[in-house]
Amino acid sequence: MLAFGAAYSPRIRMGRLKEYEGLLADQGRLDIPENMLLGLQWSPTQDLSFLFDYQRINYSGTSGLGNPSFDGTALRGSSGGPGNGWKDMNVFKVGVRYQVTPALNISGGVSFNSAAYADEDTANNVTAPATFRRHYTLGLGYATGPNSKWSVFYSLSPGQTTTGSSALASAVATQLSGSPTVAGQESLVTRQQSIGVQYSQRF
């Protein structure tokens, strides 16, 4: 059996964050980006399902994250000012779900995405080090009754490093030399693990 799904969300315009008016473009605006999702589920048997998703997140349409990074030509927080240099992201997800018994099901999945920003924008993303490129998830669900269920999951995002020129070292070198000078390097790496437990009850 085949099943298809699609979802779309336009950019959500958020109110300005007054505490970040001097950091985020357009006087502290951090909108939620437009995103699109296409999904396919293939169930060769009643108990086994394979799932495939493609998601597109258009960060370039949000000024706070998508505007070009700081280059000295405009102040942070100004109208149309510098952002984090984030690029539009493509996300591919593959998952499998198996109904072991009428009460027990297990699932697993993996997600791959394009880089949020280029290496040369590393220094501008110290406050938002989203270096993740892969996610792995395992889950288990157990129905304790016709209307109640326990679920647990474990998720791992392995470390991914980005490296670019150092904004601080370059600024110091420029002051000392009297002309624009690139100096030093900065690296960011993030690794994340999550464990979740959920109980649901239908009434």
pLDDT of amino acid 52: 97
Q: What residue type is 42 in one-letter code?
A: W
Q: How many structural domains does the chain have?
A: 1
Domain encompassing residue 189: 2-201
The answer to whether 51 touches 75, Cβ cutoff 8 Å, is no
pLDDT band at 19 (very low <50, low <70, confident <90, very high): confident
The arrangement of strands across the sheet holding 34-42 comes to 2-9, 34-42, 48-58, 89-99, 104-113, 134-145, 148-165, 185-201
Give the CATH number of the domain where residue 108 resides.
2.40.160.60
pTM higher than the cut 0.85: no
pLDDT digits (tens, 9 = 90+) for 118-156: 888 888 888 777 788 999 999 999 999 989 999 999 999
pLDDT at 95: 98
**Is 64:83 a contact under the CB 8 Å cutoff?**
yes
Among 36-40, 104-108, 130-134, 191-195, name the one with the lowest average pLDDT.
130-134
Q: What is the pLDDT of residue 58?
A: 96
pLDDT digits (tens, 9 = 90+) for 63-120: 888 888 877 778 887 888 888 889 999 999 999 999 999 999 999 999 999 999 888 8
**pLDDT over threshold 80, residue 167:** no
